[in-house]
Structure 1
Amino acid sequence: MAEPTLPTLPGITHRTLRVAGRAMHVAEAGEGPLVLLLHGFPELWYSWRHQLGGLAAAGFRAVAPDMRGYGRTDSPAEADQYTIHHLVGDVVALIGALGERRAVVAGHDWGSQVAWHTALMRPDLVRGVAGMSIPYRPRAGLPPLPAMRRAAGERFYMLHFQEPGVAEAELARDVPAGLHRLLAGTAGGAPPFDPAVPEGGGFLDLFPVPGPLPDWLSERDLAVYAGEFARTGFTGGLNWYRNLHRNWDLTAPLNRARIEPPALFLAGEHDFVVRGLDHSRLTDDLRLWAPGLREARILPGCGHWTQQEQPAEVTAALVEFASALD
């Protein structure tokens, strides 16, 4: 399938760089200290469309890549090419390919995991780290897949993602409808969902059939995502989940290590990732492993898609955080 035309957004340019020996597409805006914006699943550079312009206007160079396996960035065929070491390596190489020595690294969802681990593994390159939706958690004593089975049962959705070909086939049947269902079903105001895939069902059955698009997601926005995923499929993004056990093995040398750069955490009040956590203790818990934490902020009324649901609040928080560094 031919590549869809990239959306035209004021002040945002696009190019493809050679990063760690592979092609990486980036969207960028502005001049000044570098801020990298790392997306999660199933997203693209486009999920940072609001922050690119906002950070540029505040005097920063904002760059949002399509991460490995997504959009117009290379997608290795082998699942073992998506470990946390590969993903952090991409960020490290991207900083160099952009001609920079250091960056503020911000991420959402899986991108948050990559941002935290970039700060953990290469603090010399990270002026500050901002994680959204997923707080940093130290390496657990039990491998993640057995831990998930014990805590949530065999049909937990991340376990469902482990079987190659299954989830991607479901998501590819009707890409716009599937993305609409997933994005709306995990947004602010959506009812809580059971993360166990029903017997004989699929991942999308976790979420009710949605009504109209939420007000933060336009038909044009949905078309941008659907056009890219219809062309590329979902295997690249799902392969990140298929390295959970490898990542646990690979991060053994970092056991009980702390994140030293200054840090920020943002999450939605209704985000399923933090809904069950004690928000009053979140700052103290995070600061055990990120002693430079400046703030852990819960955004009222917001769901999982933090920087898209509340773009002005997220942009302002990133500008304030990045401006106070050094």
Structure 2
Amino acid sequence: MSDAIKHSHVEVNGVRLHIAEQGEGPLVLLLHGFPESWYSWRHQFAPLAAAGYRVVAPDQRGYARSEQPERVDAYTLLHLVGDVTALIGALGAEQAMVVGHDWGAPVAWTTAALRPDLVRGVAGLSVPPLPAGPPPLQAARENFGEGFYQIYFQEPGRADAELVADPKSSFRRILGGKSPDGKPRVWVVPAGEGLLDSLPEPERLPAWLTEADIDAFAADYAEHGEHAFTGGLNWYRNIDRNAELLTAFSGRPIEVPALFVVGEQDLVNAMIAPEVLTYLLGSLTPRLHRHVRLPETGHWTQQERPEEVTAALLDFLRHVEELDEKSER
């Protein structure tokens, strides 16, 4: 096993992606969310590689050290799933275990639903599988108002400029901030305020996040200058387009083994009622191995609770290996 994380670039679907990798063996893809990069999986590389896996975490299209297509509509879920499927082939593998956090979770779930031939097992952190339905942004407006962050992100250039004005401060506020009472809250920007006004910079970072981590994220994003956050924001600007493109697959179950991990203080818990979450997992992941709820854990699951998340992933990987062995007998 290699004891160092290696960095390189791979071209998939005409987009140059930066990848970080470690280890040898069956392929495990780790897909980050917003506003993150491969670095969000820093704690998972060594233990997964030591367990006999080839661990690869790309900066997904538009993020960090990867290329940013200019067109907003180049960031649909179908494009992102296409990147994952092409990456599996480019890495010389026939299949992969696919793990996603935040936005990476919908990419992982959708890849597993549409291409079960390529996905041995799928794990989603924070965001459960969601069926396509009515225009999601309309429902968001009705439930949370115009200040809901996903609505706020829709205007080209606005959130982009606010976030890039001071990237280190943006990362401290988004990753390191939390509600005063510790309860999950929906991110809503009050009328007349800017995006980050609703997220005061923390006096000190939480124990799981260091200034060196903030520096690492900021350095990853520096390559794209004033457009550092635009690629990731463009994912949000395709939310309604995704629903339209994936309507034909609405309700399609994920036929491969699955794992779901969420923090009890994750903002997703404030957006999806427990009974709805139970229904979604039951109807869309019939081969669900476990639903893991982590106490005193917010949205940044694998960074906040690296040991617990890694243990859940290793348990799931062993489960899939055992299933594969049984099917070969």
TM-score range, shorter chain: over 0.9
In the TM superposition, 1:8-19 aligns within 5 A as 10-19=3-12
Q: Structure 1 stretches of 5 or more lacking a match?
A: 1-8
What is the number of residues matched between the two proteins? 317
SS in 1 for 2:17: strand
Matches of 2:279 and 2:185 in 1, distance apart? 28
Once the two structures are superposed, what CA deviation does each residue of 1:68-119 show, in whole Å capped at 9, x if it has no partner?
Answer: 0011211101100000000000000000000000000000000001000000
Q: Which runs of 4+ in 1 moved over 3 A?
A: 186-194, 275-285
Going from structure 1 to structure 2, the CA distance change for 1:158 and 1:277 (only over 3 Å counts) comes to closer
| Residue in 2 that maps onto 1:52 | 45
Q: How far off its partner does 1:27 sit?
A: 0.5
Is 1:220 matched up with 2:212? yes
**Matching residue within 65, 73, 89 for 2:58:** 65
Question: Considering only aligned residues, what root-mean-square deviation do their CA atoms show, in Å?
Answer: 1.8
Once the two structures are superposed, what CA deviation does each residue of 1:220-246 show, in whole Å capped at 9, x if it has no partner?
Answer: 111011122243210000000000111
Would you say the 8 A contact 1:134–1:274 is kept in 2? no
| Residue in 1 that maps onto 2:250 | 255
Q: How far off its partner does 1:285 sit?
A: 3.7
TM-score (norm 1): 0.93
In the TM superposition, 1:135-154 aligns within 5 A as 135-140=128-133, 142-154=134-146
| Residue in 2 that maps onto 1:113 | 106
| Residue in 2 that maps onto 1:6 | none
| Residue in 1 that maps onto 2:192 | 200
Going from structure 1 to structure 2, the CA distance change for 1:286 and 1:202 (only over 3 Å counts) comes to same
Going from structure 1 to structure 2, the CA distance change for 1:227 and 1:187 (only over 3 Å counts) comes to farther
SS in 1 for 2:20: strand
Would you say the 8 A contact 2:184–2:269 is kept in 1? no
Would you say the 8 A contact 2:169–2:201 is kept in 1? no
Is 1:92 matched up with 2:85? yes
Q: How far off its partner does 1:284 sit?
A: 5.1
SS in 2 for 1:88: helix
The residue type paired with residue 289 of structure 2 is R
Would you say the 8 A contact 1:194–1:206 is kept in 2? no
| Residue in 2 that maps onto 1:129 | 122
Q: How far off its partner does 1:313 sit?
A: 0.8
SS in 2 for 1:67: coil
Would you say the 8 A contact 2:6–2:20 is kept in 1? yes
Would you say the 8 A contact 1:188–1:271 is kept in 2? no
| Residue in 2 that maps onto 1:209 | 201
More deviation, 278-287/154-163: 278-287
The residue type paired with residue 136 of structure 1 is P
Would you say the 8 A contact 2:262–2:293 is kept in 1? yes
Is 1:162 matched up with 2:154? yes
Would you say the 8 A contact 1:123–1:260 is kept in 2? yes
| Residue in 1 that maps onto 2:16 | 23
Going from structure 1 to structure 2, the CA distance change for 1:164 and 1:15 (only over 3 Å counts) comes to same
Once the two structures are superposed, what CA deviation does each residue of 1:143-170 show, in whole Å capped at 9, x if it has no partner?
Answer: 1121111111122110110000000100
Identical amino acids, percent of aligned pairs: 53
